[in-house]
Structure 1
Amino acid sequence: MEKISFTDLFNEGTIIKFTPNDLINKSNNDIQEFKKKLQLFEEQNPVIADFDVKNLSALINNETFFDLQYYTDSSWLEYFIQKYKIDASKLEDLMALAIRQEDFNAVKILVKHGYIISKKDLVNAADTENEAQEKLKENKTDGYESYIAGNSRINLISSFLRQRYDTNKIQDPDGYTNLRKDKSTASEVIQKVKSGDFIEVLDNSGDWFLVKTKDGKEGYIYRNRIKSA
């Protein structure tokens, strides 16, 4: 059987404007050929252990430069996150890329699937905004480095991220959760934080988030105790 890789489906030379639903509803040759490859890929990679989450970086678009060589409808990013039940803890690098490439649809999809916005994401967005302003000052009209202001989404992304960041809160069936000194349930408890309290997420890497409470105390809280409205 022919071995199908993710790059056989999506690569830098591919423009895919059809959606997963179109595989059912449309029957042109390109779509049907893609459907066959997708079926083979999924048969060869049936579970998350077979799937490299880094593949999804190919589904993050960048439409801010004039000579874009590839594009994939964002519904495919959501398709694979759902297909392989990819945990939000594995989406950090994808979020960083989506912000840098100003893919607003991708940012919203990642948040929809449980990604919690941290201070790092806000800093990344601010840096991207500054870089965009510098590109606009250069005022290039051709060549790869020409930045299309009309396609820029970084202001929308920054506003969206800030809004989500400001809704991060504790949600625990016990009515409170423990703020700990280190990343361990055996670590010293610094403070008990009530469910519903806003929590400032400083770093969302791994299973334990570095956070700051409304009282200004910093420590670690297990990630599934933090939700965003």
Structure 2
Amino acid sequence: MIKADIYKPTFMLLMVIHLVWLTSCGCNNRKQPQEATEVVGCAQSLQVLIKHSGWKSPFKSNFTAEIESTDDKKLRVQLSIPPNGGSRTAHTIGWIVIDEQKKTLSDITNDPENPEPITYQLKDWNRFTTCFHEDAENPSTTGPVLQLSDLFTEGSTTAFSPKDLNKDEPNIKQFKAKLTRFEQQHKGDQLNTEDFSILINYEVFDNSNTYVNSSWLTYFLNKYHISPLKLNEAFEQAITQEDFNAVKILLQHGFIVSDQQLKAARLAKENSVRLTHYNLQNKRLDESGDPTFYDEKESKIDAIQQLINSQYQANIIQDNDGFTNLRESKSKTSNIVRQIQNAEHIKVLDNIGEWWQVETVSGEKGYVFWTRIKSGKVTR
């Protein structure tokens, strides 16, 4: 079901944009003849279906349409306009629902519970729906290179897991087709971990309308054999956004906690305390009078701090030789400070790169190659 409260802030913005448009453009109410359009691909056929329809919008000549989600033969389409001015992101201007079973087109921008029917041309409808189902059944490697953000789009919900991919449901079939194309384009270990940000949830903020089942994070970590060395940014993002599931998954994948992550957790806790104070003392408004959007009841920062502190304290040396060398600098040829025996506890001060700065129980500092450091097991 589409929740009405998701759309309220966008609706108010749309009203302002619409009023600006009315006062700034030379509007012509006469019906304009439709131009002949050569349609290539499903994305353009969707664009043409909406452009030739009875959808009423001042942005009809310059918009993009993207299928946001599918459910029970219904396709929810997000409509956007290109970024302008100093903005780098597109602006959402509305939503349309395509109901294949009832063969209806509806505008749900103003009120999802009471959609406005939209007329359309049958040839445009048939062209799009045919293309949509053919595309789902026959994925192609041609076209633009897909990124994770193309699989999990901003503002969408991906509640199903990798185990559900064989289910005969329209939204899953469409996703599977896109995933197949993605994996054909990204073979081996060719995946940018900076794109993992879309897989980190932030449910503690109630203005978030994007959700991805956490099992997809596990899926891509394993599918592309992502090294723990590449996960610092994702781990600290998971802390900041209080995604407890993501924190546990990254620890299970072999991420080792250092002083840097403990610091990130302390800052996240301070931010949580600050926002909670505003919620209780200032009617959920921050120092600038803006909403905090922070839901302290959903906060997971205490659990995250407890877990990563225990992992930090469990960091030990584990080497096939029974010991490893603590060196003065980040090189196997540098001077040896002393030998650290297996199972000896250490503090990891910095986990950037392959040589990590550590401190022994007795206070000596130096560098150890990262594969010699292990921590406790994490259960979900």
Match of 1:160 among 307, 311, 319: 307
1:55 corresponds, among 187, 195, 212, to 195
C-alpha separation in 1, matches of 2:296 and 2:209: 18
CA RMSD of aligned residues (A): 1.2
1:11-38 deviation per Cα after TM superposition (whole angstroms, max 9, x unaligned): 32221010000102x2210111000000
CA contact (8 A) 1:169 1:195 kept: yes
Task: Output the TM-score relative to the length of structure 1.
Answer: 0.96
Q: Which amino acid aligns with 1:83?
A: K
| Structure 2 partner of 1:45 | 186
Paired AA for residue 198 in structure 2? A
C-alpha separation between the residues in 1 aligned to 2:291 and 2:172? 30
Return the alpha-carbon distance in structure 1 between the equivalents of residues 234 and 246 of structure 2: 9
Aligned letter for 2:359?
K
Match of 1:19 in 2: 161
- Native 8 Å contact 1:100 1:128 kept in 2: yes
TM-score relative to the length of structure 2: 0.58
- Is structure 2 residue 363 aligned with structure 1 residue 221? no
Q: What are the Cα deviations for residues 107-159 of structure 1, in whole angstroms up to 9, with x where unaligned? A: 00000011001111111101110110000111144875221011100000000
Query: Per-residue displacement from partner, 1:154-175 (whole Å, max 9, x unpaired)?
Result: 0000000011111100001111
- Bigger RCO of structures 1 and 2 (CA < 8 A, at least 6 apart): 1
| 2:312 equivalent to 1:171 | no
Deviations 1:185-227 (A, max 9, x none): 0111011100010010011111011100011011100000000
CA contact (8 A) 1:67 1:144 kept: no
Aligned match of 2:244 in 104, 111, 114? Answer: 104
Cα distance in 2 for residues equivalent to 1:205 and 1:31: 38
What is the letter of the counterpart of residue 53 of structure 1? T
Residues 1:74 and 2:214 are matched in the alignment: yes
Aligned residue pairs total 227
Work out the percentage of aligned pairs sharing the same amino acid: 40
Determine if contact 2:316/2:343 at 8 Å carries over to the other structure: yes
Q: Which runs of 5+ in 2 are unaligned?
A: 1-141
Higher helix share: 1
**Which ranges of structure 1 fall in alignment gaps of 5 or more residues?**
none
Matched letter for residue 117 of structure 1: V
State whether structure 2 residue 232 is matched by structure 1 residue 85. Answer: no
SS across alignment from 2:160:
coil
Look at both structures and tell me which one has the larger radius of gyration over its CA atoms. Answer: 2
> Residue in 1 aligned with 2:150?
8
Aligned-pair distance for 1:81? 0.3
